[in-house]
Amino acid sequence: MPDPDPSPPAGRKPRPGRIVIAGAVVFGIILVAGTLARIHSRHQLHAENVAAAVPTVTVVHPGGNAIDTLVLPGVLQAWYSAPVYARTSGYLRRWYVDIGQKVQEGQVLAEIDTPDVDLQLAAARAALGTRTAQRDLAGITSRRWNRLNAQNAVSQQETDERRGNFAASEATRHEAAAEVERLETLSGFKRIVAPFSGVVTSRATDIGALIIAGTSTTQPLFTVSDVTRLRLYVRVPQAYAARMRDGLRVHFTVPDYQGRTFEARLFRSADAVDSPSGSMLVQLVHDNADGLLKPGAYAQIAFTFDGQGAAASPTVRIPASSLLFRKDGTTVALVDGNGHVRIKPISIVTDFGTELEVTGLTPQSVVIDTPMDDIRDGDEVNPQENKHAS
């Protein structure tokens, strides 16, 4: 008779219940893994969206003080320069100095032959002699009639007439003497003399030349210039007008002395801005005791400043592309330590083209270069250093 509960033979397949349990476990693991992957992807996508919503901006740090050297053209002029004219007409008899010669004050430069003046002077002296004789005769007659009038030998009317004749003769004689003095003074102008010590820089006459004084077309016979000191005139832009102060030392160069630098100091300024050019005329003085430099020469003047303007606020240099023009004025966009935008008003001191010298910032400020037009105060940004900034 067979066994009622025989053991299953070796190699028989597991029961279906175990397979279902194992499948459920595997499905659960796959389901959990898929859910975690989707959650991770969702978080990653959100982070990317948040990051994409914060714009990345390029920032720069303001440089130190802006370029503190201003180079401008100027013209050298003599300390004194006097055109010497003739005060009397005639012909040039002789000249004694030529261009480039040094002269002393009062030295004779030339002589003029004035025959007309000489004849007029001779006639005036003769007229003076006549008036003197007439005055003397009228005086003798007046005194004689005074004595006769005291003896009641002549009338008072006749005596007064003689006194009047004497007074008129005296006045006429003074008039003749004044004419002689005028012509003597005019004759003294035959000798052209130097008004001060200096150098003759021009001569516009020669022996035998006709000299006509007192006309609008008269040219100076000579020009005498004092070149022991030279004036240097330069027009300074209005942005630098406040920095012009008496005694400011500058350096300049001239084309005829390549590689050599000369020094001058600020002596005067016009203290007014010329409206058409927007500049102020400045006068510098150079000690030219060695006589190297010449009046009329062109020069390049270098003004060196301490980087500070007239105000106490320090200046820094920023790119011109960082400016924002708003209704409140000229501003820049800064980034604070938390990555938020701060709009900061500034004042432009000097425009150098691609760079600006401004006040209102410090070298530690973080400035956004080329900010968006719609950037606002408080916006969150991702600052990125400009690697190419100098």
Enclosing domain of residue 341: 313-385
- What is the DSSP-derived secondary structure letter of residue 145? H
Check: CB of residue 137 under 8 Å from CB of residue 162.
Answer: no
Alpha-carbon distances of 6 from 1, 2, 3, 13, 287, rounded to whole Å: 12, 9, 6, 16, 135
In a domain, 108, yes or no: no
In a domain, 278, yes or no: yes
At 317, which CATH number?
Answer: 2.40.420
Per the DSSP assignment, residues forming a β-bridge with 299 are 74
Instruction: Among 257, 278, 306, give the residue marking a domain's end.
Output: 306
Helices (H) and strands (E) in the chain, counts: 3, 21
User: Do 328 and 300 belong together in one domain?
Assistant: no
User: Do 327 and 287 belong together in one domain?
Assistant: no
Residues in the chain: 390
In a domain, 289, yes or no: yes
Higher local confidence (pLDDT), 381 or 10:
381
pLDDT at 310 (0 to 100): 44
Mean pLDDT across the chain: 84
Region of residue 285 (phi > 0: left; psi between -120 and 50: alpha; otherwise: beta): beta
pLDDT at 20 (0 to 100): 73
pLDDT at 361 (0 to 100): 87
Region of residue 360 (phi > 0: left; psi between -120 and 50: alpha; otherwise: beta): left
Choose the weakest-confidence range: 11-15, 88-92, 196-200: 11-15
In a domain, 170, yes or no: yes
pLDDT digits (tens, 9 = 90+) for 7-42: 555 555 556 677 777 777 777 787 777 777 777 776
Per the DSSP assignment, residues forming a β-bridge with 82 are 224
Rounded-to-integer distance, Cα 70 and Cα 213, Å: 47
pLDDT at 241 (0 to 100): 84
At 297, which CATH number?
Answer: 2.40.30.170
pLDDT digits (tens, 9 = 90+) for 289-325: 888 999 999 999 998 876 544 444 577 888 888 898 8
User: Do 301 and 326 belong together in one domain?
Assistant: no
- Domain count across the chain: 3
User: Do 300 and 324 belong together in one domain?
Assistant: no
pLDDT at 11 (0 to 100): 52
User: Do 346 and 375 belong together in one domain?
Assistant: yes
Rounded-to-integer distance, Cα 319 and Cα 322, Å: 6
In a domain, 354, yes or no: yes
The pLDDT-based confidence of 350 (bands split at 50, 70, 90) is confident
For residues 131-139, give the mean pLDDT. Answer: 92
Choose the weakest-confidence range: 94-98, 222-226, 234-238, 310-314: 310-314
pLDDT at 194 (0 to 100): 93
Q: Is the pLDDT at 383 greater than 60, yes or no?
A: yes
* Residue-by-residue DSSP string for 268-301: EEEEEEETTTTEEEEEEEEE-TT--S-TT-EEEE
pLDDT at 52 (0 to 100): 54
* Residue-by-residue DSSP string for 249-272: EEEEE-TTSTT--EEEEEEEEEEE
The pLDDT-based confidence of 177 (bands split at 50, 70, 90) is very high
Residue 68 CB neighbours (<10 A): 16
Choose the weakest-confidence range: 16-20, 110-114, 334-338: 16-20
Check: CB of residue 252 under 8 Å from CB of residue 72.
Answer: no
Residue 13 half-sphere exposure, CB side, CA atoms within 13 Å? 4
In angstroms, how far is CA 50 from the centroid of its own chain? 55
Rounded-to-integer distance, Cα 87 and Cα 81, Å: 18
pLDDT digits (tens, 9 = 90+) for 56-77: 888 888 876 555 678 899 999 9
Residue 298 half-sphere exposure, CB side, CA atoms within 13 Å? 5
The pLDDT-based confidence of 390 (bands split at 50, 70, 90) is very low
Rounded-to-integer distance, Cα 285 and Cα 268, Å: 9
Q: Is the pLDDT at 123 greater than 90, yes or no?
A: yes
At 127, which CATH number?
Answer: 1.10.287
pLDDT at 5 (0 to 100): 52
The pLDDT-based confidence of 252 (bands split at 50, 70, 90) is very high
* Residue-by-residue DSSP string for 66-98: PP-EEEEEEEEEEEEEEEE--SS-EEEEEE---
In a domain, 104, yes or no: no
